[in-house]
Structure 1
Amino acid sequence: MRIYSEIDKKFSLKLEIQDELNINFPITINQNYIETNCASGLQKVIHTSGFCIIFQNFTVLNNFANSLSIEKDYIQLSLLLKGKVQIIKPLTKTIKDIQSGFLQLAFKNKDNIDIKVFSQKKTINYTRIFISKSFILSIFKNEKWFSETILYRKIKSDNYINFGEIFLPVNFNIVNILSEIVKNSEIGVLGHSYYHIKFKELFLLILTELSTKYKVVNLIKKEDLDKINMAEAYLNTHYEEPPTIKQLSKIIHLNELKLKTGFKILNKCTIHDYITNVRMKHAHQMLYNKYPINEIALAVGYKSSSHFITSFKKFYGKTPKQYIMEQLP
């Protein structure tokens, strides 16, 4: 697998990665601070035999292009958590907006694209994982749950999957796994084992989520389902400042009744309860990492610590202080 990348027409990354799984191959972790007149921030690249992970967290000052060229059979998982991005294919001149809050999965043999990043004077948070075909088949060869899926059959038979064919709105669990993968610092055999387990966990979660979505296809019109998925993605990336139902219906261009009804069918809860659930999961993680209560309250969207504590107790049955005293030694 070959990967070449430029940011703002300046060399950023050039890798040639061995396709086969090899736990004796070194794991390389590079963190580079990129500073141009268009963007400044962190690019972290993790690679070894079989896969490469690229994480970018930039403040975008001016529009810029991120060129990317990939060769040989590979599976790509990508998540734009924050930011505004367009994919431009130089050969066909195809332009496609990338919706933030959606995890996309593709299976390709080569690609050459320009990623246009738009300035909003805000942060772009973009994670991409490239995994070789032989690596995927190796780590999943004893996983019966994977070998019986359509995805496995497509990969096995070189039935390529374009961007836009498989995607789903992210949830807390998916974001958390991707964050753990990016933050991992283990190398050697232990590091290899960690990534293998996390990739399995991630694919299992993706396939479970996709299965759940497919089950409601006959209950909700596809065009409405696509918009409700957009609503879910939006709430997962704006939970700290969630829109009202009226605002959300305008954002996704779906009337309020269809939005509320379809959302409850898809997620087995109301929009209000969904937002609370997302907030509490993030709060729980921050609490476990020993953030102060007032910081957690602000981070997950509560104007006061007392309001947050009341909501936390209602959700978990105990106050944050009681909860952390029971959970941590």
Structure 2
Amino acid sequence: MYLDALLPHAQLVRESEAKGFRQACYAMVPETGLEGIFEYTALEGFEINYSNITVARHTAVQLNASKQYVEMHFSLSGRFLSRNEKLIKPLLVKDLQHSLFSVPQNLTSGLEFQSDKRPLVKVDILFNKNYFEHIAHEDCALHTTLLDKLACNDRMPADIGMMDVTPHLLSVLTDIITCKRTGYFGRMFLEARVLELFMLQTEALQEALPGKGCGYLMDFSRDIEKLYFVKELIDKEPETDHSLQKLSRQAGLNVFKLKNGFKSLFGDTVFGYINSLRMEKARKMLLEGAPINTIAYQLGYSSPNNFSTAFKRKYGITPGKFKA
């Protein structure tokens, strides 16, 4: 996203690539109004965009999000103006500020750089959707909100806030910017620092916005109906090969809300509940004299052995002995 936006203003200086790790350094072309460097690092699941640019004259660039991201932004020096359809008004980003927000697919944003003696130095780290879902914590209100925004392809509200960059954050950012490692060790080092940065930023935002954090928690008055809808789907067809992803899409909930909300409301996990329904149905079918093989396949098990294992785990006895 940032690379594509700056390519018309830059020329490639060097690049390297290893398994799961790509780096490229670009020099700004002075004739375009920008001078300095832009470094792009792509790893599995996220990318790091580092800009150290001097703005000679007013310059505007356009960002086009080809897919969904969660972005960690750190402005270290200089200032710029950001505009897009999701912002109520243009956002002035100043030095030593940071923020965390979701970026919807197909969002177009404009960045305006004003002439300034100070260099524009910033770091933008973009997590793709799958990677963010992997590192997000279901008990974190902030992460849950971001997951909600990804689920409906929306942007984090602008008032989530710009916060001051702390010395600790600055220290980790410096490690990332000055990293000289390449290949496997470079990938490991950068991933560790980025995750540390993500942890520190999450803690800072949660501590600074405690009131808003409560509003990000599951609103049962809104979601309870969706959870009952999921339960009804399972009740009708417990033998179906249900998945959390499919159920969450059908109900309009993200996976974390589905998992936590279902257990809070019904006292069991989604798959625990499915298993209980299957076992109760199996017990009744055995009492009615149905063959074990028939029961196994009707209830969605891949083999009678898998069914027998699940039945014994539930009731402490094999189906054969129960039937006898």
TM superposition score normalised by structure 1 = 0.54
Structure 1 counterpart of 2:130:
134
Which residue of structure 2 aligns with residue 196 of structure 1? 191
The alpha-carbon distance between structure 1 residues 189 and 155, as it changes in their structure 2 partners (threshold 3 A), is farther
Q: Higher helix fraction: Structure 1 or Structure 2?
A: 2
Matching residue of 1:51: 46
Partner of 1:81: 76
| Letter paired with 1:82 | S
Partner SS state of residue 200, structure 2: helix
User: Residue 154 of structure 1 aligns to which amino acid in structure 2?
Assistant: T
Gaps of 5+ in 2: 12-17, 213-324
SS in 2 for 1:10: helix
**Helix, strand or coil for the counterpart of 1:120?**
coil
1:10 aligns with 2:8: yes
Higher Cα radius of gyration: 2
1:147 aligns with 2:143: no
Fraction of identical pairs, as percent: 14
CA gap 1:152/1:94 in 2 versus in 1, 3 angstroms: closer
For residue 213 of structure 1, the aligned residue among 208, 211, 214 is 208
- Judged with a 3 Å threshold, the aligned counterparts in structure 2 of structure 1 residues 12 and 35 are, in CA distance, closer, same or farther, namely closer
Distance 1:125 1:3, change over 3 A: closer
User: Is 1:33 the equivalent of 2:2?
Assistant: no
Q: What SS does the corresponding residue of 2:190 show, helix, strand or coil?
A: helix
Deviation at 1:98, TM superposition (A): 1.5
Q: Post-superposition shift, 1:123?
A: 1.0
Task: Report what 1:60 is aligned to.
Answer: 55
Paired residue for 2:279?
none
Q: SS state of the match for residue 57, structure 2?
A: coil
Gap change, CA 1:216 and 1:101, over 3 Å in 2: farther
SS in 2 for 1:72: coil
Q: Does 1:100 align with 2:99?
A: no
User: 1:201 & 1:28 partners in 2: Cα distance?
Assistant: 21
- Which protein is richer in strand relative to its size? 1
Change (3 A) 1:162 1:182: farther
Q: Deviations over 1:168-210 (max 9, x none)?
A: 2111111121221222233333333223321221122112222
Tell me how far apart the structure 2 counterparts of residues 151 and 124 of structure 1 sit (CA, whole Å).
29
Match of 1:119 among 95, 115, 123: 115
Is the contact made by 1:90 and 1:114 (CA closer than 8 Å) also made in structure 2? no
Residue matched to 2:223: none
Between the aligned partners of 2:54 and 2:187, the Cα distance in structure 1 is: 31
Q: CA deviation at 1:116?
A: 0.4
Q: Which moved more, 1:156-165 or 1:75-84?
A: 156-165
Distance in 2 separating the partners of 1:156 and 1:113: 21
For 1:33 and 1:127, the matched residues in 2 are separated by 16
Question: How far is the alpha carbon of 1:81 from its aligned partner?
Answer: 1.5
Give 2:103's aligned amino acid.
K
- Please give the per-residue CA displacement for 1:134-164, whole angstroms capped at 9, x wherever unaligned: 11233x27xxxx3310122224443641444
SS at match of 2:104: strand
Q: Following the alignment from structure 2 to structure 1, what is the Cα–Cα distance between the partners of residues 161 and 79?
A: 20
Q: Which amino acid aligns with 2:116?
A: Q
- Structure 2 partner of 1:234: none
Distance 1:70 1:194, change over 3 A: same
Alpha-carbon RMSD across the aligned residues, in angstroms, is 3.0
CA distance in structure 2 between the aligned counterparts of 1:11 and 1:58, rounded to whole angstroms: 11
